Structure 1
Amino acid sequence: MSLPDGTPAPRAFLFADPAAHSLSPQMHRAAFAHAALPGTYEARRVPPADLAAAVAGLRVPGVLGANLSLPHKEATLPLLDSLSGAAQAVGAVNTIVHRGGQLHGDNTDSPGLRDALSDAGYSWEQGAEVIVLGAGGAARAAVHALISGEQNVTVVNRTLERAQAIAADWQVPDADFQVAALPAHAAPWESAALVVNASSAGLNDPDQTPLDAAFLARVPAGALVYDMVYKPAETRLMREARAAGLNAENGLGMLAHQARLAFRAWTGADVPVEVFLDALNARPAREG
C-alpha cells in the first residue's frame, strides 16, 4: 500500500522513561513491513512532567496512537476520552488509539498474558490455583487476565497491604474465581499450577529474584513459572524453577502478543504473532 506523494506515513510511538532500551520499535516495524502498510514507530523518552503534552500531541492527523510503559500506564488515564473495559478494570493503559481527534485507552497486557500462557502450555483448568508475585500495574493486569480465565489467584507481595488492595478490587459475590492476598509463607504453593512474576525483580539483574527457592520447592512438579521479565532472557527465578522440576518461561511471549493486539487496534491488520517474535529473536546482541 502506497501513499500519495507528499503524504507522511502514519506514525505510532512508545512513551516511556527511559525508552532507549525498548524492543517495541523493531517489532512494529516488522509488522508494518509484513502487512505491507506504510508507517513508522518511534520510542520516545517522555519524563512524567511532559506526559500530558506528549499525549495531547497524539490528537493530530496522521498519528495512529502510542504504547505506554513505565511510569505512564496509570498517570495517562485522566488524559484520555474513553477507556476499554480491560483498561478500566486493570486501572492502567498500555495502548492509546487515536480516532478522529479522540483518544481511546486500552490494556493489551492482560489478553497478551493470557495468549502467552496458552502458548507456554498452560491448561486453564477452571478453579486452578495461581500465585502472582508483585502488586503494581503489571500484577493488576495479570490478575485481570487470570480471573477472566476463572483461575483462583493469590497475590503475594513484600508489602501485604498493597496485595490486599488488589484483592479487594476483585471481591465479586458468586464469582467463578477467588482473589486473595497472603504473605509468602502462607500462600498455597503445594497446589499451585502457575506462578507469575509480575514484579520488577530480576529486571536487568540476572542474580535478583522475587522469591526464595524454598517456596519453589513446594510447587508441584511440572507446574509453570512465568516470569514477565524478559531482559535478561534467563532470570534467576527461571533457573531455580527449572532446578525444582518446574517449567519456566520469560516474558517475551507476552511482549509479542500485547504488541500484536496494539498493532491490530491501530491499523486493523491482524499480523501473526510469529512476526513479532521473529523480530525479537533477531534483535541486536546489545539488547541482551
Structure 2
Amino acid sequence: MSLDAGSNVSPDPQQAFLFADPAGHSLSPRMHRAAFAYAGLNGHYEARRVPAEGLAEAVAGLRRQGVLGANLSLPHKETVVALLDDLSPAARAIGAVNTVIHRQGRLLGDNTDAPGLLQALSDAGYSWRKGAEVAVLGAGGAARAAVYTAALGRQRVWILNRTRDRADELAAAWAGQGAEVEVRATDLHDLPWSRVSLIINASSAGLNAPEETPLPGFDFSLLPAGALVYDMVYKPDETRLMREARSAGVKAENGLGMLAHQARLAFCAWTGCDVPVEVYLQALNVGGAT
C-alpha cells in the first residue's frame, strides 16, 4: 500500500514501541512519528527502557488492542524469541528479532535489520563480488543479521568478537543450519585482511563513546582497494572506527541508512503502509534535509 502525504488521519489511535536498555539515545521515535504523520495515521511511537528482567512483561503488553508491535534493541534481540508465537523465516534463520508484529492477539517476530543492512550497503555503493570476504565485528543479535546479510551475498564471513567463545557459538549455529556459505570465528591477527572487502561493525563499540573502537591500532592499509567499513553505530555520526578508516583512504559509512531502511520495513509490517525511506532519512536530518 503506497500513500501520498496529506491523506486523512485515521480515527483510532495506534501504538508502537522500542524496548531497549538503554533507550534514551534512540532516534527511532523521531522516524516513526514522521512516518505516522506522512501516512495520515493516528499513531504514537515510544522508546521505553526495558531491563532484561522486565522484557517478558513488556512483550505481553503488546497483545493489547490498539498496539501494533515493537522494535527490539540491545540486549533483547535474542532473548525475545522465546516469548513470541511465531517467527518469520528470516528471524528463524538469524536467531534474532528486531521487530515484533501484533496480529489479533498473536505476536510474530521478524528481522528487518538484515534487509535494511542489505539496502544500506547498496546505497553506499557496495557490490557483492565473487570471492570477496566479509569481517563481522560482534556476536550478538545485530551480528547475526550481518552474517545473514553477507551470506545472502554469497560471501565468506569471518566473525571477530571480544569474547572468542561467543564468536565460536555464532559460527557453529550458522554451520548447524547446513548453510552453503562458509562462516568462521577467528582472531584479529589470523584473518586474511587483504581479501576482506567489507567490515561490518555489529558491536556496540563506539556507541555514544567517540574514542572507543572495536579495532584499536588496526592498519586499514591491509584492506584491498575499494573496501568499505560499515559501522552500524549511528551516534556519534563519525565514530573512531570510521575516522581511522577514512584517514587511511578507506570508505566508511555510519548506520543511519540501515536504521532508516529497517524502520521503513518495520512500519510497513505494522501498518501495511509503505512510507518512502526519504521520510525516515529526513527525520534523521540526512539525505538532503540537513
Equivalence for 1:40: 44
Report whether the alignment pairs 1:146 with 2:146.
no
> 1:186 & 1:153 partners in 2: Cα distance?
13
- The answer (yes or no) to whether the contact 2:81–2:109 under 8 Å persists in 1 is yes
- The answer (yes or no) to whether the contact 1:131–1:153 under 8 Å persists in 2 is yes
> 2:177 & 2:90 partners in 1: Cα distance?
20
Report whether the alignment pairs 1:203 with 2:199.
no
Specify the code of the residue in structure 1 equivalent to 2:21. D
- The answer (yes or no) to whether the contact 2:97–2:141 under 8 Å persists in 1 is no
> 2:178 & 2:42 partners in 1: Cα distance?
49
Equivalence for 1:19: 23
**Pairwise CA RMSD of aligned residues?**
1.7
- The answer (yes or no) to whether the contact 1:127–1:176 under 8 Å persists in 2 is no
Check 1:65–1:220 CA distance in 2 against 1; reply closer, same or farther (3 A cut). same
The alignment's TM-score, normalised by the length of structure 2, stands at 0.91
Report whether the alignment pairs 1:217 with 2:224.
no
Give CA-to-partner distance per residue, 1:59-81, whole Å, 9 cap, x none: 11111111111122122111111
> 1:160 & 1:144 partners in 2: Cα distance?
19
Report whether the alignment pairs 1:193 with 2:200.
no
Identity score, percent: 67
What is the deviation of 1:14? 0.9
Q: Of the candidates 156, 160, 163, which is equivalent to residue 164 of structure 2?
A: 160
Check 1:10–1:175 CA distance in 2 against 1; reply closer, same or farther (3 A cut). closer
SS of the aligned residue for 2:35 comes to: helix
Equivalence for 1:261: 265
Q: How does 1:1-288 map to 2 (within 5 A)?
A: 1-4=8-11, 8-171=12-175, 176-281=180-285
Structure 2 runs not aligned, ≥5 long: 1-7
What is the deviation of 1:88? 1.3
SS of the aligned residue for 2:41 comes to: coil
SS of the aligned residue for 1:194 comes to: strand
Specify the code of the residue in structure 2 equivalent to 1:236. R
SS of the aligned residue for 1:12 comes to: strand
What is the deviation of 1:174? 8.5
What is the deviation of 1:211? 0.7
> 1:214 & 1:78 partners in 2: Cα distance?
38
Specify the code of the residue in structure 1 equivalent to 2:38. H
- The answer (yes or no) to whether the contact 2:81–2:97 under 8 Å persists in 1 is yes
- The answer (yes or no) to whether the contact 2:10–2:41 under 8 Å persists in 1 is no
Give CA-to-partner distance per residue, 1:218-250, whole Å, 9 cap, x none: 012321000111111101111110111110000
Equivalence for 2:5: none
Higher mean C-alpha deviation, range 213-222 or range 193-202: 213-222
SS of the aligned residue for 2:79 comes to: coil
Higher mean C-alpha deviation, range 181-190 or range 204-213: 204-213
Give CA-to-partner distance per residue, 1:165-205, whole Å, 9 cap, x none: 11122227995521111111010111111111111111111
- The answer (yes or no) to whether the contact 1:213–1:240 under 8 Å persists in 2 is no
